[in-house]
Amino acid sequence: MIFLTALPLFWIMISASRGGHWGAWMPSSISAFEGTCVSIPCRFDFPDELRPAVVHGVWYFNSPYPKNYPPVVFKSRTQVVHESFQGRSRLLGDLGLRNCTLLLSSLSPELGGKYYFRGDLGGYNQYTFSEHSVLDIINTPNIVVPSEVVAGTEVEVSCMVPDNCPELRPELSWLGHEGLGEPAVLGRLREDEGTWVQVSLLHFVPTREANGHRLGCQASFPNTTLQFESYASLDVKYPPVIVEMNSSVEAIEGSHVSLLCGADSNPPPLLTWMRDGTVLREAVAESLLLELEEVTPAEDGVYACLAENAYGQDNRTVELSVMYAPWKPTVNGTVVAVEGETVSILCSTQSNPDPILTIFKEKQILATVIYESELQLELPAVSPEDDGEYWCVAENQYGQRATAFNLSVEFAPVLLLESHCAAARDTVQCLCVVKSNPEPSVAFELPSRNVTVNESEREFVYSERSGLVLTSILTLRGQAQAPPRVICTARNLYGAKSLELPFQGAHRLMWAKIGPVGAVVTFAILIAIVCYITQTRRKKNVTESPSFSAGDNPPVLFSSDFRISGAPEKYESERRLGSERRLLGLRGEPPELDLSYSHSDLGKRPTKDSYTLTEELAEYAEIRVK
């Protein structure tokens, strides 16, 4: 603000100049509106001893030296002036009083320039003062805005116009100030160098919306058509406000995502994209784009945009939700349990959105949950029927994944009803079918012979496991008067079970069906067949190796129970030795427990207690017929 001084420095200098030497004082610069007038204040001095009778003066334009023939603005001695100043210049001051004030009217741009005064006291007493005044012809008011205008802080804007024309006084008014505040006119003020200005002030509190607002000032002169206007744009400083940003974004895994952040501030803000405290991108700009190529679930989360400048900051967040199919489910829980225990299995996965989780076994749904990432399966008091393969399936609209897992239920052996013995021709096969977990050890006991054969005797016992079911087959060759007794025992670490295998005799059924007459005929046929087979086996035994040959059928055991009473002791002892060697796992000759004698034995047959196979079979058939 310009303050009015009671005693300007200019006049102090004039009063102090009464020292009797050459000197002049005038404003170094002065301004006036085009078409108006201007009064250039001027004072000069000369030595007191000169005491001139008349004092004259000359005003020159743009040069102080007469020899350069500068344009004469005013000359008191002759009144002869340059054509540009004819009718436009006159002296307002009294040269005798050392006042050289000059008035210029009807100002035009070509009159702008430097003005010099020359004192003429007569004779050689002439002096051109180096001091001069620069005239500036203007046509716009001067609007003064503070170097920094901050939103929310009161500001003062002034409009200043020169008021150095005594004939025309300017009047000031504000343009475009609506909503900013009411102007206050301070009036006419005098400057330090003796010039005058007209000042009007406007006080207001700017907002961010006022940034860039055009504020005008108009100077008009009453009773004339002269009007001069000037405008200034307000440069309002304010902190950032984020005005543009994505709302929540959903994107499918592998797609392209663009996140935009735009802020309004003055000056422009520093925009920064961040996630979890990590700067992803930043720049000084009004908007900033964050590009994410082929997004993954790892990029799912909250992204923050920070805008800041010297006057404050603002921040906002956006949530990026990456949609993807379920991951392969993981299964944590019991996979081995003992019968009767409670089993808890947890199946979990990760997806977006949350999946539908299902646990099933053999296409039967056991548990399911919707829009959850975990599924708990509880099986109280598990039984062998719960043993097997299970599947945990997770699915949403973007895909499906599944994981298989096995539940192993351990339990004591259970002998199934399929266990039995059956006769076919000269062979008896005993099946022991056991269900257990872990796999049991199976043993066959023949009580009549006090012999036990376990599955490790692979020459006699064939075993095959299918799931939890173990089938062991004991094969006996030969014929006997009565079905053998076979007891099957299965054992594991949870217990043991025994069962006397029921006998399903094929020969019994045959005798019952054909009757007595048919039995005699059949008996005769059997005698012929047995004789043929006996001769054939004798020949075959000569050519074949004594080692046991394995075929596609399970190994067999020729039971010692299938013997004929009254047979020669030599034959009986040899048969016992062969059977025992086989039961003890010794690698001897394969058992050939035929129920017929060799030719050499037949030659020794005429003993009291011995008889041929034919006679024995005849006796056996006779008993059957009776």
Q: Would you say residue 578 lies in a domain?
A: no
Question: Do residues 484 and 505 make contact, with C-beta atoms less than 8 angstroms apart?
Answer: no
Q: Which value, in Å, is the radius of gyration of the alpha carbons in the chain?
A: 65
Residue with tokens 């006419």: 188
Instruction: Tell me which of 137, 162, 185 is where a domain ends.
Output: 137
Question: What's the rounded Cα separation, in Å, for the pair 216 and 184?
Answer: 15
Q: Would you say residue 12 lies in a domain?
A: no
User: Is residue 19 scored above 50 in pLDDT?
Assistant: no
What is the tens place of the pLDDT at every residue in 400-433?
999 999 999 999 999 999 999 988 777 888 999 9
Q: Are residues 380 and 284 in the same domain?
A: no
Q: What is the pLDDT of residue 53?
A: 84
- Torsion over CA: 580, 585, 589, 595 (sign): positive
Number of domains in the chain: 5
Share of the chain above pLDDT 70, in %: 77
Given pLDDT bands bounded at 50, 70 and 90, which one contains residue 539?
low
Q: Would you say residue 186 lies in a domain?
A: yes
Q: Are residues 29 and 133 in the same domain?
A: yes
Q: Are residues 110 and 172 in the same domain?
A: no
In DSSP terms, 345 is beta-bridged to: 333, 377
3-state secondary structure labels for all residues of 377-441:
EEECCCCHHHCEEEEEEEEECCEEEEEEEEEEEEEEEEECCCCEEEEECCEEEEEEEEEEECCCE
Q: Would you say residue 304 lies in a domain?
A: yes
In the Cβ-directed half-sphere of 299, how many Cα atoms lie within 13 Å? Answer: 24
Q: Are residues 149 and 125 in the same domain?
A: no
- Higher-pLDDT residue of 38 and 599 is 38
Instruction: Tell me which of 302, 321, 340 is where a domain ends.
Output: 321
User: Is residue 294 scored above 70 in pLDDT?
Assistant: yes
Q: Which residues contact 625 (CB under 8 A, 6 or more apart)?
A: 516, 519, 520
Q: Would you say residue 458 lies in a domain?
A: yes
Question: What's the rounded Cα separation, in Å, for the pair 352 and 356?
Answer: 11
Most confident segment among 33-42, 499-508, 532-541: 33-42
Question: What's the rounded Cα separation, in Å, for the pair 563 and 593?
Answer: 8
CA angle 542, 547, 551 (to 5 degrees): 105
Buried b (16+ CB within 10 A) or exposed e, 39-62: bbbbbbbbeeeeeeeebbbbbbbe
Lowest mean pLDDT among 119-133, 235-249, 305-319, 555-569: 555-569
Question: What's the rounded Cα separation, in Å, for the pair 338 and 361?
Answer: 19
Q: Across residues 167-179, what is the average pLDDT? A: 90
Q: Are residues 402 and 422 in the same domain?
A: no
Q: Are residues 200 and 278 in the same domain?
A: no
Given pLDDT bands bounded at 50, 70 and 90, which one contains residue 588?
very low
CATH code, domain carrying 27: 2.60.40.10
Question: Do residues 307 and 270 make contact, with C-beta atoms less than 8 angstroms apart?
Answer: yes
Instruction: Tell me which of 208, 234, 260 is where a domain ends.
Output: 234
The two structure tokens encoding residue 108 = 């035009």
Amino acid, single-letter form, for residue 110: E
Q: Would you say residue 564 lies in a domain?
A: no
User: Is residue 102 scored above 60 in pLDDT?
Assistant: yes
User: Is residue 151 scored above 60 in pLDDT?
Assistant: yes
User: Is residue 478 scored above 60 in pLDDT?
Assistant: yes
- Higher-pLDDT residue of 544 and 324 is 324
This prediction's pTM: 0.58
Q: Are residues 361 and 378 in the same domain?
A: yes
Q: For 493, which DSSP code? A: T
Q: Are residues 422 and 406 in the same domain?
A: no
CA angle 383, 387, 393 (to 5 degrees): 125
Q: What is the pLDDT of residue 580?
A: 38
Given pLDDT bands bounded at 50, 70 and 90, which one contains residue 558?
very low
Q: What is the pLDDT of residue 331?
A: 93
What is the tens place of the pLDDT at every residue in 304-349?
999 999 999 999 999 999 999 999 999 987 689 999 999 999 999 9
User: Is residue 296 scored above 90 in pLDDT?
Assistant: yes
Lowest mean pLDDT among 203-207, 287-291, 477-481, 520-524: 520-524
Largest CA distance in the chain: 202
Question: What's the rounded Cα separation, in Å, for the pair 515 and 219?
Answer: 149
Q: Which residues contact 337 (CB under 8 A, 6 or more apart)?
A: 343, 382, 407, 408, 409, 410
pLDDT averaged over every residue in the chain: 80
In the Cβ-directed half-sphere of 291, how many Cα atoms lie within 13 Å? Answer: 1
Q: Which domain holds residue 259?
A: 239-321
Buried b (16+ CB within 10 A) or exposed e, 220-237: ebeeeebebebebebbbb
What is the tens place of the pLDDT at every residue in 184-202?
767 778 877 888 999 999 9
Write out the E strands in 287-355. Answer: 287-292, 301-309, 312-323, 330-333, 336-338, 343-348
Most confident segment among 299-313, 513-527, 562-576: 299-313
The two structure tokens encoding residue 34 = 């085009």
Q: Across residues 12-32, what is the average pLDDT? A: 71
Q: Across residues 545-556, what is the average pLDDT? A: 35
Q: Are residues 37 and 118 in the same domain?
A: yes
Q: Would you say residue 405 lies in a domain?
A: yes
Q: Would you say residue 522 lies in a domain?
A: no
CA angle 613, 617, 619 (to 5 degrees): 115
Question: Do residues 206 and 156 make contact, with C-beta atoms less than 8 angstroms apart?
Answer: no
Q: Are residues 208 and 108 in the same domain?
A: no
Q: Are residues 496 and 424 in the same domain?
A: yes
Share of the chain above pLDDT 90, in %: 58
Do β-strands 469-477 and 427-437 pair in parallel, antiparallel, or remain unpaired?
antiparallel
Q: What is the pLDDT of residue 547?
A: 34
Q: Are residues 183 and 264 in the same domain?
A: no
Question: Do residues 324 and 352 make contact, with C-beta atoms less than 8 angstroms apart?
Answer: yes
Question: What's the rounded Cα separation, in Å, for the pair 176 and 159?
Answer: 13
The two structure tokens encoding residue 253 = 């895994």
